[in-house]
Structure formats: C-alpha cells, structure tokens
Amino acid sequence: MFFNISDFILVSIITLLFYLNMPVISKQVIYIPKGSTNYIITYLDKKGYDLNYIDKIIIRLIGYPQNGWIDLKRTSMSKYDFLYKIDTSKAALKHIVLVPGETYYFFLKDVAQELNISQEKLFFYYDKYKYKKDGNILAETYLLPQGMDEEQLILHLFNYTNNQYKKYSLKIFGQYNQKNWYKYIIIASIIQKEAACVDEMTTISSVIYNRIQKHIKLQMDGTLNYAQYSHTPITHNMIKSDNSTYNTYKNYGIPTDPICAVNFDSIKAAIFPRDTQYLYFMKSLDGKKHNFSISYKQHIKNIRLIQKKRKIQKRKHSIKKYKAKKIKVKRKNKKSKKKTKKVKKRSHLKDLWRSVK
C-alpha cells in the first residue's frame, strides 16, 4: 500500500514535470485582457494556447496574470516558462503619435523606424486588412509595445480604430454602418486637411455640403495631399495630371477614400456642419484662419484684397531690408575709416622715430 502511494506520487511528479516542460510556440508579444483568471485562461485557450484546469492552478500558485501587452522575449519556450511570464512580464511601451491630417504612408514609415520593424511588411499587412485606402487608423497618441510584429500591430490599430468609430456612431446615430460611417470619415479628412483651426471646422464642413448640394466641384487643394503627396505643395501641373478621385478640380463630390487620419473634432464637424450659405474660402493674410464668402464676386474681392495687402507687406519688408543694409554699410565704412586713421597715426609715429635714430 505504502509503495503504491509512493509510486503514484512519483509518477504524478514526473507527469507534471513532463507537462510543464512541454514546448509552447507563441508570438513574442501577446495581449492579455482584463478579467478573472478563468476569463484569461478561456481567452488564451481560444487563441490556440491549449490551456486547461491544471494551467489555472499553476498560474494561481505563481500569482495573478498581468493585463495588457506581455513581452515573452522569445517565441519558443516551455509551458512553465510561458505561464510564469504571463504572471510576471510586461512589454516595453513606446509613444507613437499619429498627427491629425497625416497620411498612413508617412505614419507607417515613422512607426517602422521608431519600433525597428519592417516597413515593407507594415505596408503589406496594411493593404491586406484595410477597409479604405486611408482613415483606417484614428489620429491619436498610441502606446505600442516593442517586440510586436507587423501583422499584430496593424490589426491592433485597425481593431482599436474600428471600436472607437463604432462607439462614436452608436452614441450619435444609435447604430454603426461601416459603409455610411466612412462617408463621414472622407468628409472629415477633407476638413482635417483644409481647416486652419478647430473653431472653423464646422464652417469648412458647411462649404463642402453647400457645394455638393449645388452640384459645384469642391476644388480643394487639400484633397490632393493624399498618401505620399501629404506634404507636397499643390501646383497647376499636379491638378492637370492627377486623374484619381482625390482630384476635386476634375471630379464632382467627395473622393472614394479618406485623404488622411482624422480625429473626433473633424468627425463631429463632418456630421454636424454649421448652417451657412458659404461656397468659397481662402486663407487670411496671417494664414491662421480663412476668409469665407457666399458669392464668387466676393471671393475674388477677398483674393484681390489679400494680394494687395501682401504686396504692401512685401514692399515694406523690402524697404526695411534695404534700410537695414544701408545702416550696416555705413557702420562698416565708419569702422574702416577709424582703422585707416589709426594706421596713418602709427605710420607717422614710426617715421618720427626713424628720424630721431
């Protein structure tokens, strides 16, 4: 009887050690949700980690599972090592900012550099999972774990954004229809590119809706600042040669895809435009805001007035620059005259000294 119990204990220990040394293949960085140990075990089991009641006991003996992103340091380990790291590890996080109005093209380049991951793979997975060409990632500051692979990163950013879009839509409309929602994201992206400040976003939005309603082309430069052209100055040749739907000088209505990343301010402005009759706008003299007008005639007057003011400013600047240059030359001449006098005085003293000798 005694030997049978001892044999049973020995066999159990050997079985447990064998079980704990079983290999586990995982991604280096994994996500652990908030919740009870039971919930976390169920979540990880669904993710393919094949966890059970024994694992739950071992995890509880070690401590309590971490939540958030966990850096396992490697992709192949023993079962015990995996369970231990679930309880004790955390991933190193890095702040990555997606600026409102920036395109996915430049954002992914920055992310690849900041997290030291493959730019090519990021673009590959972005194209694989995207819903639209842009606007799939909300403009925000993200805490991204180092060690996360390219596919995980894209899926994380897309899932987060889609959940935020869903939350906003349910709050405003009581439902979420992705196709309809992205129409607002397209308009929000135009607002994001065109508005000089948050205060005038609803007014820019009203111009967009007013022009669409009157079947007037938007003719907005900002729509051509898409993807790799995000920071490119818009020229006449670009307007002439670009045949994409982003070219609102050639096409009526809005583009088929968002131009850039948006934040909630521009989304709100796209859904709730200000009630105006404005059809035109142009940058004010200081470039900090826009001047709006109802008629084309008034718009031309605004343009001429700004042009006139700019000419006056330019002239004043030129006069100021000329005067400053003149003063500089005078000072230089005075200095050179003083130096000449000193040299002459010294040479005269030298001559006197020579005559004394």
Looking at residue 132, the DSSP 8-state letter turns out to be: S
Is the pLDDT assigned to residue 342 strictly greater than 60? no
CB of 61 closer than 8 Å to CB of 82 = no
| Exposed/middle/buried for residue 192 (C-beta within 10 Å: 0-12, 13-18, 19+) | buried
Q: What is the C-alpha separation between 203 and 209, in angstroms, rounded?
A: 10
pLDDT 10s digits, 50-83: 888 888 888 888 888 888 888 888 889 888 898 8
264-271 helix and 201-213 helix, angle to the nearest 10 degrees: 40
Query: Which has the minimum average pLDDT: 13-22, 61-70, 322-331?
Result: 322-331
| Nearest in space to 232 (alpha carbons), one of 97, 119, 118, 105 | 105
**In this predicted structure, which of 192-201, 313-322, 340-349 has the lowest mean pLDDT?**
340-349
pLDDT at 357: 47
pLDDT score, position 52 = 84
CB atoms < 10 A from the CB of 268, how many?
19
What pLDDT is stored for residue 338 in this prediction? 61
Highest mean pLDDT among 14-23, 94-103, 145-154: 94-103
Give the residue with greater pLDDT, 27 vs 103: 103
Q: In 145-181, which positions are buried (b, 16+ CB within 10 angstroms) versus exposed (e)? A: bbbbbbebbbebbbeebbeebeebbeeeeeeeeeeeb
Q: Closest Cα to residue 147, out of 95, 96, 94, 108?
A: 94
* DSSP label at residue 49: I
Sign for the CA dihedral angle at 217, 222, 228, 233 comes to positive
Long-range contacts of the stretch 214-222 (C-beta < 8 A, 24+): 214/279, 215/252, 216/279, 217/248, 217/249, 217/250, 217/251, 217/252, 218/190, 218/248, 218/253, 218/254, 219/248, 219/249, 220/190, 220/193, 220/194, 220/248, 222/190, 222/193, 222/194, 222/259
In this prediction, residues 227-243 reach a mean pLDDT of 94
Q: Evaluate if residue 355 carries a pLDDT over 70.
A: no
What distance in Å separates the CA atoms of residue 186 and residue 257, rounded to the nearest whole number? 6
Tell whether the torsion through CA atoms of 119, 123, 128 and 132 is positive or negative: positive
